[in-house]
C-alpha cells in the first residue's frame, strides 16, 4: 500500500513551505492562523499537522515562548525534512504540470497556497510516489 497525503495535509504543508522563515520553532505558526488562510477548520489543521509530524515533515507543539497567545494553543513549524520534501516535489510536479495544456508557461514556479489545491488535484499520483520514496528514505 502506497502512503497518501490528504488534501488538508497538503494544504498545511504548502502553507508552511510558503511562509517558513526557518525550520524550527522560531518560525512556528498558530493553528488558527493556518486555518484562517487555508480555509480549514482548526481541528483539521491540528489533525493534518499531527500526521505531518508523525512522518517528520513538520512539528506540532505547544509554544514555549510567552510571545504566543494562549499557552494552551498549538503551533506548527516546518522541519528541514519537510522543506526538502517540498523542494523535491516542486521539481517533480512543476516540471510535469508545466506541460499540461491548461497551464500557462511559467505560471507555476513554486507550490503556494494559491495553487496548492490545483497542484494536489492534478498531481496526486506524483505526490503519492514522492511521499512513498521520501518515507522509505527517511523513515525506513
Cβ atoms of 75 and 59 closer than 8 Å: no
pLDDT, position 133 = 84
Residue 118 inside a domain? The answer is yes
Q: What is the CATH number of the domain that holds 20?
A: 1.10.10.10
For the stretch 79-96, pLDDT in tens is 999 999 998 888 887 677
Tell me which residue range forms the domain holding 23.
7-138
Residue 116 C-alpha cell reads as 496548492
Rounded-to-integer distance, Cα 101 and Cα 111, Å? 18
Helix or strand holding residue 10 (H, E): helix 7-19
Residue 2 inside a domain? The answer is no
CA atoms within 13 A on the CB side of 24: 3
Residue 1 inside a domain? The answer is no
Domain count, the chain: 1
State percent of the chain over pLDDT 90.
Answer: 46
Residue 61 inside a domain? The answer is yes
Residue 72 inside a domain? The answer is yes
Amino acid at each position: 500500500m502506497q502512503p497518501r497525503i490528504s488534501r488538508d495535509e497538503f494544504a498545511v504543508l504548502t502553507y508552511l513551505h510558503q511562509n517558513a522563515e526557518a525550520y524550527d520553532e522560531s518560525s512556528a505558526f498558530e493553528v488558527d492562523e493556518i486555518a484562517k488562510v487555508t480555509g480549514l477548520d482548526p481541528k483539521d489543521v491540528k489533525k493534518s499537522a499531527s500526521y505531518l509530524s508523525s512522518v517528520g515533515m513538520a512539528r506540532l507543539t505547544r509554544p514555549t515562548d510567552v510571545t504566543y497567545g494562549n499557552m494552551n494553543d498549538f503551533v506548527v513549524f516546518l522541519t528541514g525534512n519537510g522543506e526538502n520534501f517540498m523542494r523535491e516535489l516542486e521539481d517533480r510536479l512543476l516540471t510535469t504540470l508545466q506541460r499540461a495544456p491548461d497551464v500557462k508557461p511559467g505560471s507555476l514556479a513554486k507550490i503556494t497556497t494559491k495553487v496548492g489545491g490545483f497542484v494536489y488535484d492534478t498531481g496526486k499520483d506524483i505526490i503519492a510516489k514522492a511521499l512513498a520514496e521520501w518515507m522509505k528514505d527517511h523513515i525506513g
